[in-house]
Structure 1
Amino acid sequence: MTHEPTQEPAYEPSPLADVDCRPSGDRWQLIFVRDLKHPPEKVWAALTTPENLEKWAPYTADRDLGETGEATLTMIDGDTQMDMKAEVLLAEPGKVLEYSMGTDLLRWQLEPSSAGTQLTLLHTVQDKDWVPKVAAGWHMCLDVAEKLLDGTPIAPIRGADAVNYGWLDLNSAYADRLSIEDTGLPGHLSE
């Protein structure tokens, strides 16, 4: 039985994740921790396989990310798609996935927990004011991923469309939690 993605009932963001922000050289790193009620192997498949990524992530991948080496991630915003060079730097199945995405660096750490998996994302960005924006985006994406893992998928929430599902409120809440000024929408979306 195939489950078709839906937005019914309406998407409601989950409670805020545990977050922190720290300097990383001349850059900034978001630490985003979330418990998922699925085992690490299942979460790993959602993080690495193109057929799963296209159902929840802000991008698709041209190959399985579970092996080191170059890859292309295609960012999706409505009808607009943009290819970004990526390189998987570390892939320990069910444990750690680290890759570059353009100028960003993402490190996904999976730890077995009583709930299923404690997922820790370390996302390094250039500018501190992007940290709450990134937290809000990953919050929504991981809500969608969890529904996919639950077997009750909803359509991906990506790009400018995220504003229609509470991104502004999440961005403000994460900015407050992280004590970072809320600068609102990214410049390319506020024009």
Structure 2
Amino acid sequence: MTEDTNNLRSIFKERELRHPPEYVWRALTQEHLIEKWLMKSDFKPEVGHRFHLEAEWGKVSCEVLAIEPLRTLSYSWAAYGLESVVTWTLTETATGTHLKMEQSGFGRDQDQAYYGAKAGWEQFLDRLEEVVANLDGQG
């Protein structure tokens, strides 16, 4: 957890994946793969594209803010009063990919969202790892 000058909090999660950045990037940017590990979506990897993530508990409104293929993906994440930004950073390693996720913008009065997201991202990242592993042999 870190704080910025606006007294906002961030969540950081990191994983070492034994798969190349290309596989991880596909899982982060292809609509049918996003649905397998995160939520149903109408994502397109284009800056400015507005999309939704949808689960049984509701919808998240998002907009792609930045893309550097195989390296960085950033999008807004707005739901239930939370206005935040999710940023993915991929770094190629000798054994695969170092993946870092940051969700920033949690206010001090948003404990439920903050702690819920902290737990939720662990589950999402576990499923992301499974999706990436299943891309082996699929090119």
**TM category, shorter:** 0.7 to 0.9
Match of 1:37 among 9, 12, 18: 18
Task: Tell me what 2:118 maps to.
Answer: 135
Q: Distance in 2 between matches of 1:31 and 1:148?
A: 21
Q: Does 2:104 correspond to 1:104?
A: no
Which is greater in Rg? 1
Task: Tell me what 1:46 maps to.
Answer: 27
* Matched-pair contact (CA < 8 Å) for 1:73–1:101: no
Q: Deviations over 1:15-73 (max 9, x none)?
A: xxxxxx0013231111211111111111011011111000010x222132x22113221
Task: Tell me what 2:64 maps to.
Answer: 88
**Equivalent position amino acid for 1:76 in 2:** A
TM-score normalised by the chain length of structure 1:
0.61
**Alignment length (residue pairs):** 127
TM-score normalised by the chain length of structure 2:
0.81
After TM superposition, give the deviation of residue 110 of structure 1 in Å.
Answer: 0.3
Task: Tell me what 1:69 maps to.
Answer: 48
- Is the partner of 1:45 in helix, strand or coil? helix
Q: Distance in 2 between matches of 1:101 and 1:70?
A: 13
Q: Percent identity?
A: 29
After TM superposition, give the deviation of residue 97 of structure 1 in Å.
Answer: 0.3
**Equivalent position amino acid for 2:15 in 1:** R
Determine which structure has the larger strand proportion and give its number: 2
**Equivalent position amino acid for 1:98 in 2:** S
Unaligned ranges ≥5, structure 2: none
Unaligned ranges ≥5, structure 1: 1-20, 153-191
Task: Tell me what 1:149 maps to.
Answer: 132
After TM superposition, give the deviation of residue 81 of structure 1 in Å.
Answer: 3.9
* Matched-pair contact (CA < 8 Å) for 2:106–2:114: no
